[in-house]
Structure 1
Amino acid sequence: MSRRETLTERVTRILAENIRSGTYPQGQRLPSEQAMVDEFGVSRTVVREAIANLRASGKVSTVPGIGIFVRESIAPVTDAFAIRPESLTAAASLLNVLELRLAVESEAVMLASQRRTQQHLDDMRQAIADMLTAIDQQREPFEADLRFHRTIAEATDNQEFVRLFNYIGGLLIPRTQLRSQKLDDKARLALRNRMETEHEHICYALQRHDADAARALLRLHLSSSRNRLRESLSRTS
């Protein structure tokens, strides 16, 4: 069964196709954020994440106070490294990709601990709040979880981390382990407490500029996710 496309992926894909087809020619300003919210029927957060994806891939650039413009020159995308969604159907592939995420984000969070701004912390805490709201409403916390970890990449102040995370981030948060709408009240509460505690601890380490603690907590968080994924896959295999 094919992987379901997220709202952010759908909006990113449509905007990229419009740029590629010339619907939005080079140098043109994209529609306003509100106009895209209305056009796609999604939240402002989804639109912002889609724009962040396009910016990281070099398709658009932002002029503060004016708007978002299609770049005059777009570098070709290399196929030298690609993780295909269909390749993630095997347990070994899923676990291998999660290990890649461990390596990338462990280094990113150390840089983020030294370079983060108060806005980054605020954005991460908002993402945590959105995760908890999603769980309370028996929805997937995936989008907010992805946003939390993308903000860590952004806090490195190194666009290469952001570019890499935007490329593989959607594949690296295992969807198979979180099906909150199927959980009973006790299991959902346990999920809620774990998500809140693990992410808040990372955020607090970043707030204190504690690189070692941030790295250790991030690794613990992702290692736990890997172990739960391994157990989930073993039950369904």
Structure 2
Amino acid sequence: MTRSRPAELHSDLRRRIVDGRIAPGEKLPSESALIETWGLGRSAVREVLARLQAEGLVHTRRGAGSFALTPPPEPTASLPAVRTLEDRLALLEYRIALESESAALAAARISGPELAVLADAVVLCEASAGNPAEAVGHDFAFHRGIAAATGNAFLLDAVDKLGAVMIAMPRARLETAAGSGAGAEHRAVLDALRDGDPAGAAAAMRTHLTASRRRLRREAGHTPR
């Protein structure tokens, strides 16, 4: 079966990043160049870049373009499938345990450039309300960036194994204005990281993921716990 042009573009860029032909930190071709080369519309190109970002392969900075990241490791062990509401709630419980401690470690170890990447991800996530593909990509980039800032390869590997599937995106969240809801929660985590406050970062992350769990249950018609 013939693949679509967007699928071919995604496969081409992904292969070049994983193979190192586009090196970590190197800028990808511009949206305009990709549109001209591949004969695609701007929205199709942006969807491809958002998918690559969700896979942890690129980081997009507004006004600067998209840059290749070090490819995340391939999974070495299978993970339980996430299919039902109960699966996703269980996943959030796991994330609370994993990411609260990651946030505490990151607060003690994070560098200036890593903080800048996280700040960009927060802004872009808020700006992507109404575009699920972009929002998921930026949200995952934020959480993966925190794991990377711990300097602990095992914590980063755990997040990479989960991938963007770990991000819950209830419809109500996409309709939330920037600066409130999940956006405000992300900023609280970022503020604690910027202040070098491990206890505050852990508490802010726990608050964020507990609220995510509550929003997910509410949208599914369950009484929040």
- Give the TM-score normalised by the residue count of structure 2: 0.69
1:93 aligns with 2:84: no
Unaligned 5+ runs, structure 2: 1-5, 39-43, 59-67
Aligned residues: 188
Which AA in structure 1 matches 2:21? L
The residue that corresponds to 2:192 in the other structure is 205
CA contact (8 A) 1:109 1:152 kept: yes
CA contact (8 A) 1:83 1:168 kept: no
The SS at the match of 2:137 is helix
- In 2, the alpha carbon distance for the partners of 1:154 and 1:45 equals 20
The residue that corresponds to 1:50 in the other structure is 57
The residue that corresponds to 1:173 in the other structure is 167
The SS at the match of 2:151 is coil
Larger helix percent: 1
1:83 aligns with 2:70: no
CA contact (8 A) 1:36 1:47 kept: no
1:149 to 119, 125, 143: 143
- In 2, the alpha carbon distance for the partners of 1:18 and 1:120 equals 21
1:160 aligns with 2:154: yes
The residue that corresponds to 2:21 in the other structure is 30
Q: After superposition, what is the alpha-carbon deviation per residue over 1:133-166, rounded to whole angstroms, capped at 9, x for unaligned? A: 112xx32322111111111011001122222111
- In 2, the alpha carbon distance for the partners of 1:202 and 1:114 equals 13
CA contact (8 A) 2:103 2:201 kept: yes
Which AA in structure 1 matches 2:159? F
* Structure 1 residues 163 and 178: alpha-carbon distance in aligned structure 2, compared to 1, 3 A threshold: farther
Q: What do you get for the CA RMSD once the two structures are aligned?
A: 3.3
Which AA in structure 2 matches 1:96? A
In percent, how many aligned pairs have the same letter? 22
Unaligned 5+ runs, structure 1: 1-6, 59-76
1:133 to 113, 127, 132: 127
- In 2, the alpha carbon distance for the partners of 1:12 and 1:149 equals 25
CA contact (8 A) 2:140 2:167 kept: yes
The residue that corresponds to 1:67 in the other structure is none
- In 2, the alpha carbon distance for the partners of 1:163 and 1:13 equals 25
- In 1, the alpha carbon distance for the partners of 2:153 and 2:221 equals 37
- Give the TM-score normalised by the residue count of structure 1: 0.66
CA contact (8 A) 1:205 1:214 kept: yes
The SS at the match of 1:34 is coil
- In 2, the alpha carbon distance for the partners of 1:31 and 1:178 equals 37
Q: Give 1:50 shift.
A: 1.8
- In 1, the alpha carbon distance for the partners of 2:22 and 2:182 equals 35
